[in-house]
């Protein structure tokens, strides 16, 4: 099966609508960044806490926000995944000193507002197996030894966290667990309650560390880009390296811009996704450039832009197939990958689209403009003998 | 099959066997296979659930303690040499970065004794530089080389203590490591798989656990002012005031005058454990080392009917009257429940922290969230890779099988490399994995499209395969090396998460060059080797 065979589209002739679309997207992204005062950093980069909570019933974002802001200073952001009732609660943390108590504050506030618990009883949704064992030990001492008590407690939390995916619903649902006798059940009913939510994860980053991580991520990315530029400049020509890096930069700016427009957070995993798309886009660009380098000596009579266009066409089927396949992987990650990977896969989905067309409509035109500009400059000065295209000469030496 | 091909086949087979062995060992049963898999493919905390803490050692505390000790010694030495002084004091650096700025100020040295003062400091306090502020006032600053040693030593000792405490808690899988880099040298990363509420652990790690058993020189007093007033406004030489812990049901504060130097400290303990007294109340009992028992025996023998204080972190825990000679053991009473008693025993035996600890970062992934991440990640991976393989098979037919084999082998090599290097698979690592699979698909597509082009240009099958691999090779090298170069920078300058991404990616890329270029070519050669007159290729 073949889809594209000997295509000859005039890509470079149709570049302007795409370049304009790029400029519009870039401008919109930058505009959004300016209006919102920079990207919306996740706690990794600004400090704060994020609590991942799964609720039994749908609780509105506002309800949570109002309940928490009564106790916790600063802005509180509540995001909800509508399909699972999973909620991400972000709080601010400006003072390094508030760090130690931050988790307890969030947990206690949630418990007093949504727990529905009774003082003195343990919350079966959120305690670990050691606490359950503490409650069971005395009452069941006649029938079970210490090891059995611990194993049973462990079985209860495992059942809750795997089979029930975090939410027990009520104590009776435990009767399915191996070893939970009616006696155990009645002990638990007396000593425990089941809160209609579970705290599934907690992240806390101090503001100082956040700022450090931010500058570290930025430096690493910029240096990585510079490294690629040097390598490509060394393997091809400087302008090739520059064009590839500009194209990749363009992809990154548009993706970050879209993150800002859709009000999504930039976290450490999103940085990993940005690096991934930088890799993909760079890969795409190099494939086209490689073909240009290969074609130049063979098509010496043709104009440079014809060579570029032919190269794009020759690599078109590979470009679309590769991008299509990686796009499918990214979409599958976006659809099935869960809340944790959402930002990551969103960046990939956007990045692959932008990255694919940037090698055709951004990187390649830059090469041609540079060539035209060089030639225009050369024709103003007295012609030197044997002004063969530099790239062609270089390409030969590489071979 | 010719000999070159056979050698290649053996080579590929050996690589596969080594990789499979690295991942699952030689399992004898299904259960053992799962066990080996879980042992070799270690998941990061973000996938399997657990807690991670980043803590920072407040090195400046150690500098202050060092200065305090020096001041005490200096006082003794100056007295011995008959050098009178006015004030000996130190500054109070608050931030970690300012630890080196520690200095001791000596004021009011008599002019005719300046020479003797200089002599004492220079000959007996080699770690300090002496600067004069005026004729009678001096400043002692800590030498930079000494500061470096103290910094390193403080962090190392803190780390050992933290390790001891983590081990004492029975967290077998937990790891304690120093964060690299000159900027983060005082940061310690503690990773604890399976722990989803680190509150208790945090407070255990943070406990200074400085135990002193000290003679009581006077008291109790109702507050500091009363204590001072009873002693004529100044504390007697070699004493200090400390407050007793406020117990439930007791009336108001009580202060005691204690000897400055402890009879026994935490370092003298041989072990400590929780125990119960005759009324079933929890306490922590301890035994002393041989050396300390002798000292303690001598002291208690000559101080019968006097009082002793148990001081923990500069707070008096309990005061008791010495009834008889005590040699090698003691108890700390009034602690509370069993957990507090065993926590105290743990912190005492693990050694005291040389400096305070603050937490910079805490990340917890609960077991249900971790399980969800793995479930979702697997589902997405299976769907994604499944579709990719399907398209490759439909689009490239027989050659698609080659690509699929190469793809699977790539994944196997990558997993094996993770197992052999002992690296952990994290979420960013999975991102690197996805990019690897993408690049692997790309390499195959590049090669196949080239072969098709050559076939279209009328070349023979074998020549087309040769030319396809040959021409695509340069492109593949360029794309791979570019990415490896960027990974090198990410690894050198990135944070932990970014490093995980970079490592997985580099390993995957190297595996890919092997599978896409070498293995895939080998499969083609093998298929074509039987029939020299081959005119069509399923691609």
Looking at residue A394, its pLDDT comes to: 44
Domain final residue pick, B147, B178, B198: B147
Q: Does one domain contain both A222 and A328?
A: yes
Preferred mutation among B52, B195, B369 to probe A, highest tally of A CBs within 10 A: B369
Under-50 pLDDT residues of chain B = none
**CATH number of the domain within which B18 lies:** 1.20.1640.10
- Out of A276, A286, A340, the one facing B373 most closely (by C-beta) is A340
Q: Does one domain contain both A234 and A285?
A: yes
Whose structure tokens read 């976006």?
A334
Dihedral, A58, A61, A63, A66 alpha carbons, nearest 10: 160
Mean of pLDDT over chain A: 85
Q: Does one domain contain both B266 and B337?
A: yes
Q: Does one domain contain both B124 and B248?
A: no
Among A82, B359, A101, smallest CA distance to A91 is for A101
CA angle (B355, B359, B363) in 5-degree steps: 150
Say if A173 falls within a structural domain. yes
- Nearest-CA distance from B205 to chain A in Å? 13
Instruction: Quote the pTM value.
Output: 0.76
| Contact criterion met (CB < 8 Å) for A216 and B481 | no
Domain final residue pick, B126, B147, B168: B147
Say if A2 falls within a structural domain. no
Query: What's the CA gap between B474 and B464, in Å, rounded?
Result: 16
Domain final residue pick, A116, A131, A165: A116
| Contact criterion met (CB < 8 Å) for B199 and A103 | yes
- Out of A2, A157, A220, the one facing B489 most closely (by C-beta) is A220
What is the distance, to the nearest Å, from the Cα of residue A97 to the centroid of all Cα atoms in its chain? 30
Looking at residue A387, its pLDDT comes to: 44
A98: CB partners within 8 A, 6+ apart:
none
Bridge partners for A266 per DSSP: A41
Residues 359-388 (B) with a CB less than 8 A from some CB of A: 359-369, 371-373, 375-377, 379-381, 383-385, 387-388
Q: Does one domain contain both A157 and A186?
A: yes
Yes or no: say if B142 and B166 are a contact pair by the CB < 8 Å rule: no
Contacting residues of B for A279, CB less than 8 Å apart? 435, 439, 483, 486, 505
Total count of domains within chain A:
3
Looking at residue A27, its pLDDT comes to: 94
Q: Does one domain contain both B377 and B522?
A: yes
Bridge partners for B187 per DSSP: B56
Among A289, A288, A290, smallest CA distance to A317 is for A288
Whether the per-residue pLDDT at A292 is higher than 90: the answer is yes
Q: pLDDT digits over A277-287, tens only?
A: 888 888 889 99
Q: Does one domain contain both A164 and A184?
A: yes
Q: Does one domain contain both A269 and A385?
A: yes
Q: Whole domain around residue A142: which residue ranges?
A: 120-195
Q: Does one domain contain both B334 and B370?
A: no
Query: What's the CA gap between B70 and A110, in Å, rounded?
Result: 50
Q: Does one domain contain both A344 and A393?
A: yes
Q: Does one domain contain both B455 and B500?
A: yes
Looking at residue B440, its pLDDT comes to: 87
Look at chain B and count its residues: 539
Q: What DSSP string runs through B72-141?
A: HHHHHHHHHTT---SEEEE----SGGGGGG-EEEEE---GGGHHHHHHHHHHH-TTEEEEESSSS-EEEE
Residues 472-511 (B) with a CB less than 8 A from some CB of A: 474-475, 478-479, 481-483, 485-490, 492-495, 497-498, 501, 505
Range with top average pLDDT, A160-164, A197-201, A383-387: A197-201
Yes or no: say if B342 and B24 are a contact pair by the CB < 8 Å rule: no
Q: pLDDT digits over B163-219, tens only?
A: 888 888 888 788 888 876 666 788 899 998 888 778 888 888 888 777 888 888 877
Say if A257 falls within a structural domain. yes
Q: Does one domain contain both A89 and A145?
A: no
Paired tokens of B70: 């020096």
Say if A6 falls within a structural domain. no
Looking at residue B183, its pLDDT comes to: 65
- Nearest-CA distance from A124 to chain B in Å? 14
Q: Whole domain around residue B69: which residue ranges?
A: 59-147
Contacting residues of B for A280, CB less than 8 Å apart? 435, 438
Yes or no: say if B179 and B54 are a contact pair by the CB < 8 Å rule: yes
Among A378, A364, A352, smallest CA distance to A308 is for A364
Say if A200 falls within a structural domain. no
Query: What's the CA gap between B196 and B366, in Å, rounded?
Result: 5
Give the nearest chain B residue to A164 (CA atoms): B368
Yes or no: say if B490 and B501 are a contact pair by the CB < 8 Å rule: yes
Q: Does one domain contain both A272 and A365?
A: yes
Give the nearest chain A residue to B197 (CA atoms): A128
Give the nearest chain B residue to A165 (CA atoms): B368
Domain final residue pick, A99, A116, A133: A116
| Contact criterion met (CB < 8 Å) for A272 and B495 | no
Q: Does one domain contain both B410 and B485?
A: yes
Yes or no: say if A232 and A150 are a contact pair by the CB < 8 Å rule: no
H or E, element range at A314: helix A304-314
Q: Does one domain contain both B276 and B385?
A: no
Looking at residue B368, its pLDDT comes to: 82
Omega within 30 of 0 (cis) for the link into B220: yes
Query: What's the CA gap between B307 and B321, in Å, rounded?
Result: 4
- Out of A201, A205, A332, the one facing B364 most closely (by C-beta) is A201
Report which DSSP code applies to B247.
P
CA angle (A138, A139, A143) in 5-degree steps: 100
Q: Does one domain contain both B216 and B323?
A: yes
**SS3 category, B227:** helix
Looking at residue B531, its pLDDT comes to: 60
Looking at residue B17, its pLDDT comes to: 93
Say if A312 falls within a structural domain. yes
Say if B53 falls within a structural domain. no
Q: In b/e form, how buried is each residue of B10-45, taking b as 16+ CB within 10 angstroms?
A: eebeebeeebeebbbbeeeeeeeeeebeeebbbbbb
Query: What's the CA gap between A8 and A310, in Å, rounded?
Result: 7
Q: Does one domain contain both B388 and B509?
A: yes
Q: What DSSP string runs through A26-54?
A: HHHHHHHHHHTTS--B-HHHH-EEEEEEE
Q: Does one domain contain both B332 and B383?
A: no
Looking at residue A392, its pLDDT comes to: 45
- Nearest-CA distance from B346 to chain A in Å? 18
Yes or no: say if B253 and B243 are a contact pair by the CB < 8 Å rule: yes
Query: What number of other Cβ atoms are within 10 A of residue A355's Cβ?
Result: 30
Q: pLDDT digits over A58-113, tens only?
A: 888 888 899 888 888 888 888 887 677 788 898 988 777 777 788 888 888 988 88
Q: Does one domain contain both B370 and B501?
A: yes
Q: In b/e form, how buried is each residue of B235-247, taking b as 16+ CB within 10 angstroms?
A: eeeebebbbbeee
**CATH number of the domain within which B113 lies:** 3.30.1240
Q: Does one domain contain both B485 and B517?
A: yes
| Contact criterion met (CB < 8 Å) for A213 and B432 | no
Give the nearest chain B residue to A127 (CA atoms): B197
H or E, element range at B53: strand B50-58
Q: Does one domain contain both A109 and A175?
A: no
Domain final residue pick, A142, A169, A195: A195
Query: What's the CA gap between B159 and B85, in Å, rounded?
Result: 39
Paired tokens of A214: 């931010």
- Nearest-CA distance from A380 to chain B in Å? 36
Query: What's the CA gap between B424 and B173, in Å, rounded?
Result: 13
Q: Does one domain contain both A103 and A161?
A: no
The sign of the dihedral angle between the CA atoms of B339, B340, B346, B350 is positive
Q: Does one domain contain both A110 and A218?
A: no
Among B171, B366, B197, B367, smallest CA distance to A122 is for B197
Yes or no: say if A34 and A253 are a contact pair by the CB < 8 Å rule: no
Say if B302 falls within a structural domain. yes
A192 or B314: whose pLDDT is higher? Answer: A192
Whose structure tokens read 């390499």?
B443
The residue-averaged pLDDT of A300-310 equals: 89
Does B236 touch chain A if contact means CB atoms closer than 8 Å? no
The CA-atom distances, in angstroms, between A309 and each of A84, A203, A357, A399, B468 are 49, 50, 14, 22, 21
Query: What's the CA gap between B46 and A336, in Å, rounded?
Result: 18
**CATH number of the domain within which A339 lies:** 1.20.1640.10
Query: What's the CA gap between B274 and B285, in Å, rounded?
Result: 6
Q: Does one domain contain both A364 and A252?
A: yes
Q: What DSSP string runs through A332-398?
A: HHHHHSTTTTHHHHHHHHHHHHHHHHHIIIIIHHHHHHHHHHHHHHHHHSPPPTT---HHHHHHHHH
H or E, element range at B472: helix B461-493
Whether the per-residue pLDDT at A385 is higher than 50: the answer is no
- Nearest-CA distance from B299 to chain A in Å? 41
Contacting residues of A for B509, CB less than 8 Å apart? none
- Kindly state the percentage of chain B with pLDDT values over 70: 97
Preferred mutation among B54, B362, B387, B472 to probe A, highest tally of A CBs within 10 A: B362
Given pLDDT bands bounded at 50, 70 and 90, which one contains residue A388? Answer: very low
Query: What's the CA gap between A285 and A251, in Å, rounded?
Result: 12
Preferred mutation among A227, A312, A325 to probe B, highest tally of B CBs within 10 A: A325
Contacting residues of B for A111, CB less than 8 Å apart? none
Dihedral, B433, B425, B431, B434 alpha carbons, nearest 10: 20
Contacting residues of B for A216, CB less than 8 Å apart? 493-495, 498
- Out of A199, A224, A321, the one facing B445 most closely (by C-beta) is A321
Q: pLDDT digits over A215-234, tens only?
A: 888 888 888 888 888 888 88
Total count of domains within chain B:
3
Looking at residue B250, its pLDDT comes to: 60
**CATH number of the domain within which B341 lies:** 3.30.1360.200
Give the nearest chain B residue to A294 (CA atoms): B471
**CATH number of the domain within which A97 lies:** 3.30.70
């Amino acid at each position: 099966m073949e889809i594209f065979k000997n295509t000859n589209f005039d890509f470079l002739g149709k570049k302007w609508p795409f370049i304009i679309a790029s400029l519009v997207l870039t401008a919109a992204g930058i505009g959004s960044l300016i209006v919102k005062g920079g990207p919306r950093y996740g706690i990794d980069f600004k400090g704060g806490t994020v609590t991942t909570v799964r609720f039994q019933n749908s609780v509105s974002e506002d309800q949570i926000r109002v309940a928490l802001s009564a106790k916790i200073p600063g802005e509180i952001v509540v995001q909800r995944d509508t399909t699972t009732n999973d909620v991400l609660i972000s709080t601010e943390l400006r003072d390094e000193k508030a760090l130690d108590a931050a988790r307890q504050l969030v947990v206690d506030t949630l418990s007093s507002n949504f727990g529905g618990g009774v003082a003195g009883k343990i919350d079966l949704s959120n305690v670990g197996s050691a606490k359950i064992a503490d409650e069971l030990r005395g009452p069941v001492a006649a029938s079970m030894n210490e090891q059995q008590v611990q194993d049973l407690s462990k079985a209860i939390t495992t059942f809750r966290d795997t089979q029930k995916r975090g939410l027990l619903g009520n104590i009776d649902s435990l009767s399915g667990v191996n070893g939970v006798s009616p006696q155990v059940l009645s002990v638990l009913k007396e000593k425990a309650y089941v809160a209609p939510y579970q705290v599934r994860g907690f992240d806390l980053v101090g503001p100082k560390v956040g700022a450090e991580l931010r500058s570290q991520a930025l430096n690493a990315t910029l240096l990585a880009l510079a490294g690629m530029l040097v390598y490509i400049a060394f393997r091809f020509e400087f302008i090739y390296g520059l064009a590839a890096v500009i194209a990749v930069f363009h992809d990154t700016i548009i993706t970050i811009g879209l993150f800002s427009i859709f009000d999504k957070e930039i976290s450490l995993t999103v940085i990993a996704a940005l690096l991934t798309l930088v890799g993909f886009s760079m890969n795409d660009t190099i494939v086209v450039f490689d073909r240009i380098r290969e074609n130049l000596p063979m098509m010496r009579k043709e104009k440079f832009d014809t060579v570029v266009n032919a190269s794009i066409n020759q690599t078109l089927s590979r470009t679309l197939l590769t991008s299509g396949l990686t796009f499918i992987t990214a979409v599958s990650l976006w659809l099935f990958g869960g809340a944790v990977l959402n930002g990551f896969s969103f960046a990939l989905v956007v990045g692959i689209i932008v990255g694919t067309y940037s090698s055709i409509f951004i990187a390649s035109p830059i090469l041609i403009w540079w060539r035209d500009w060089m030639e225009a400059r050369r024709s103003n000065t007295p012609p030197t003998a044997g002004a063969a295209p530099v790239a062609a000469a270089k390409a030969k030496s590489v071979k | 099959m010719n000999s070159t091909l056979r050698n290649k086949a053996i080579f590929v087979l050996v690589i596969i066997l080594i990789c499979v062995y690295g991942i699952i060992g030689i399992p004898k049963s299904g259960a053992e296979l799962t066990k080996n898999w879980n042992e070799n493919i270690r998941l990061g905390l973000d996938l399997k659930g657990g807690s991670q803490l980043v803590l920072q050692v407040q090195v400046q505390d150690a500098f202050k303690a060092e200065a305090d000790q020096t001041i005490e010694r200096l006082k003794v030495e100056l007295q011995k040499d008959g050098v009178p002084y006015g004030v000996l004091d130190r500054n109070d650096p608050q931030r970690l970065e300012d630890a080196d700025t520690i200095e001791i100020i000596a004021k009011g040295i008599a002019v005719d004794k300046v020479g003797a003062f200089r002599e004492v400091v220079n000959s007996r306090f080699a770690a300090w530089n002496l600067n004069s502020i005026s004729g009678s006032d001096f400043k002692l600053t800590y030498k930079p080389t000494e500061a470096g040693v103290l910094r390193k030593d403080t962090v190392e000792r803190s780390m050992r203590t933290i390790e001891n405490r983590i081990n004492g808690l029975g967290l077998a899988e937990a790891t304690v490591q120093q964060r690299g880099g000159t900027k983060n040298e005082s940061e310690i990363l503690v990773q604890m798989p399976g722990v989803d509420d680190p509150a208790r652990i945090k407070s255990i790690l943070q406990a200074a656990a400085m135990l002193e058993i000290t003679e009581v020189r006077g008291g109790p007093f109702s507050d500091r002012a009363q204590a001072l007033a009873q002693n004529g406004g100044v504390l007697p030489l070699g004493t200090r005031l400390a407050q007793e812990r406020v117990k439930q049901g007791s009336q108001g504060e009580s202060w005691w005058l204690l000897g400055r130097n402890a009879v026994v400290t935490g370092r003298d303990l041989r072990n400590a454990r929780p125990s119960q007294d005759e009324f079933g109340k929890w306490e922590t009992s301890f035994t002393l080392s041989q050396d300390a028992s002798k000292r303690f025996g001598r002291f208690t023998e000559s101080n019968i009917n006097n009082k002793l204080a148990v001081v923990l972190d500069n707070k008096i825990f309990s005061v008791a009257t010495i009834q008889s000679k005590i040699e090698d053991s003691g108890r700390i009473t009034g602690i509370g429940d069993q957990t507090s008693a065993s926590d105290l025993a743990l912190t005492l035996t693990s050694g005291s922290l040389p400096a305070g600890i603050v937490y910079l970062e805490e990340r917890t992934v609960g077991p249900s969230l971790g399980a969800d991440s793995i479930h979702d990640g697997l589902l997405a991976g299976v769907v994604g890779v499944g579709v990719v393989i399907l398209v490759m098979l439909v689009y490239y037919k027989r050659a698609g099988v080659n690509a699929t084999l190469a793809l699977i082998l790539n994944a196997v090599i990558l997993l094996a490399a993770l197992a052999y290097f002992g690296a952990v698979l994290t979420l960013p690592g999975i991102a690197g994995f996805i990019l690897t699979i993408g690049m692997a698909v790309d390499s195959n597509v590049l090669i196949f499209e080239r072969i098709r082009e050559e076939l279209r240009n009328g070349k023979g099958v074998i020549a087309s395969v040769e030319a396809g691999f040959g021409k695509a090779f340069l492109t593949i090298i360029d794309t791979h090396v570019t990415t490896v170069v960027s990974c090198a920078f990410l690894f050198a300058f990135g944070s932990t998460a970014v490093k995980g991404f970079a490592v997985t990616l580099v390993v995957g890329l190297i595996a890919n060059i092997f599978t896409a270029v070498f293995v895939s070519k080998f499969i083609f050669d093998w298929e074509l080797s039987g029939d020299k007159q081959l005119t069509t290729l399923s691609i």
